[in-house]
Amino acid sequence: MRIVFMGTPDFAVPSLARLIADGHELCGVFTQPDKPQGRRQLLTPPPVKTLALQQGITVYQPKTLKDGAVLELLARLDPELIVVAAYGKLLPREVLEYPRLGCINAHGSLLPRWRGAAPIQWAVIAGDQITGVTIMQMDEGLDTGDMLARCETRIGERETAGELFVRLSQDAAALLGETVRRMEAGPLVGTPQDGSQSCYAHMLNKELAVIDWTKSAHAVDCLIRGLNPWPVASTTLDGARMKVYSAVPAAGSGAPGEVLEADPRRGMLVACGEGALLLGEIQASGGRRMRVNDWLRGHTVEAGVLLGG
């Protein structure tokens, strides 16, 4: 099948690779413009662009899809189908309607739950036990199109959003490959979403990452896992910011945020609104990421100290 692929981050790479491996004609790849990254702010191509160029596929990085230039480009490419996976832009109606088979999207949740920009992270933050991938026929709404295929997976008890992200990217690729093969055989009839069951996964930010110790140990643990690897949950110790990459719920009680114990052998135990958390990996201000036990060998934290937001 003659396909235009639209995607940007690591999540989309296995899907593009699957379409290539399945022998489809990738007549073009659309991705977001290169962005500066790292401390040196070096201009860096998106992962999808890197794979496409390695495979000799022409890459397009328009700043907008809302002008006539994109339609002129699609007219030259003449795709039968547009496949989208974490592209990062809404497709206008004229683009959605251009290919003969329309546009389909691989979304990292069981729609209609977690429509929006960060479905994988929010599933972990919310403490969901089950999540998955949905392939939908795109319409003008935000992740509101009819569902063509879904697959489920259980979220691991200690699984981070980053780990789940990798697993779902592989699931998305497999489900996408299967769905495109079915579309080659004939039209697919989708299942409408129940909008009353929807919820929105808004974009992550650093304000969301501030730990509220008045919440239960379970809720704080879910937040920590859901924000790993970015933007990473954080708290303050003696007024200095400290990132928390991992923690484990444990027995204990005290004022929310109170350090109940801080010992290099046993670690740092912090009280929550309900229960307590034994911190795992942290990154203190100006330091590097390390196990809290190792950090405590060079730093003293008195029991009774309060961690802040």
Residues 159, 274: one domain?
no
Which tokens in the block code for residue 113? 């739950």
Q: Using one digit for the tens of pLDDT, what is the confidence trace for 247-301?
A: 999 999 999 999 999 999 999 999 999 999 999 999 999 999 999 999 999 999 9
Whether 307 is covered by a domain: the verdict is no
Q: Is residue 249 located within the same domain as residue 180?
A: no
Q: Residue 187: which CATH number? A: 3.40.50.170
Q: Does residue 208 belong to any structural domain of this protein?
A: no
Rounded CA-CA distance 295/188 in Å is 56
Q: Is the dihedral of CA 94, 99, 104, 105 positive or negative?
A: negative
d(CA 258, CA 86): 40
Read off the tokens for 20.
């290539």
| pLDDT for the residue 39 | 80
| Statement to judge: residues 135 and 244 lie in one domain | no
Question: Is the pTM higher than 0.75?
Answer: yes
What pLDDT digit, counting tens, does each position of 134-160 carry?
999 999 999 999 999 999 999 999 999
Q: Residues 169-209: pLDDT tens digits? A: 999 999 999 999 999 999 999 999 999 999 999 999 999 99
Does the pLDDT of residue 309 top 80, yes or no?
no
| Within-domain flag for 137 | yes
154 plus 226 within the same structural domain:
no
268 and 137 share one domain: no
Distance of alpha carbon 286 from alpha carbon 268, whole angstroms: 19
Nearest to 110 by CA among 88, 159, 82, 143: 143
Q: Does residue 232 lie within any of the structural domains?
A: yes
**Residue 101 sits in the same domain as residue 21:** yes
Q: Measured between alpha carbons, how far is 94 from 34 in angstroms, rounded to an integer?
A: 25
CA proximity to 171, closest of 135, 221, 222: 135
81 located within any domain? yes
Residue 38 tokens read as: 């790292």
Domain count of the chain? 2
Q: Give the separation between CA 27 and CA 5, rounded to whole angstroms.
A: 8
- Looking at the fold, whether 133 and 267 belong to one and the same domain comes out as no
Would residue 305 count as lying in a domain?
no
φ, ψ at 116 (rounded to 5°): 120, -165
Cα separation, 177 vs 39, in Å, equals 38
Rg from Cα positions in the chain: 22
Instruction: State the CATH number of the domain containing residue 289.
Output: 3.10.25.10
Report the alpha-carbon distance of residue 91 to residue 102 in Å, rounded.
Answer: 11
DSSP for 163-178, written as a single string: HHHHHHHHHHHHHHHH
Residues 80 and 193 in one domain: yes
Written as six digits, the tokens of 8 are 């940007």
Q: Are residues 69 and 102 in the same domain?
A: yes
Specify whether 85 is located in the same domain as 10: yes
Render pLDDT for 100-112 as a digit per residue (tens, 0 to 9): 999 999 999 999 9
Query: Where are any strands of DSSP class E within 86-129?
Result: 103-107, 115-116
> Does a structural domain hold residue 302?
no
Residues 75 and 149 in one domain: yes
Q: Could you tell me if residue 30 is inside a domain?
A: yes
Parent domain of 124: 2-201
**155 and 67 share a domain?**
yes
